[in-house]
Amino acid sequence: MDDIQKIIPITMVKKNLLNIVKEMSDEDSTVTVTKNGVAVSVMITPNRYIGLLETIEILSSPGIVNALDSSKKDFKAGKVRTHKDIWAE
């Protein structure tokens, strides 16, 4: 999923909502809506919303965060194995 984000004034959103929603769906993108140059809302596709909720769930689990930290330390220390090594076993 590419990180595509557009910034669109609210007046343009009012006039072109159906086209904007279709484009968002086609590109799986997000849109920041502005009013007088200030961000007032964000529109996201259901796919991105579900991904965001899953990320929050993962990061709220201390066990998973600890495992990620441990993996990061192993990687920095050079304690890594290649894909071939793993599947050769």
pLDDT digits 0-9 by tens, 35-60:
999 999 999 999 999 999 999 998 89
| Residue 2 neighbours by CB under 8 Å, 6+ apart | 27, 28
Same domain, 56 and 38: no
**Domain count for the chain:** 2
pTM over 0.75: no
Same domain, 7 and 25: yes
Beta-carbon count within 10 A of 29 CB: 19
Contact 64, 40 (CB under 8 A): no
Same domain, 8 and 32: yes
Query: Which structural domain range is residue 54 located in?
Result: 45-78
Report mean pLDDT in 10-residue bins for the chain, 89 residues. 79 97 94 96 95 92 91 92 86
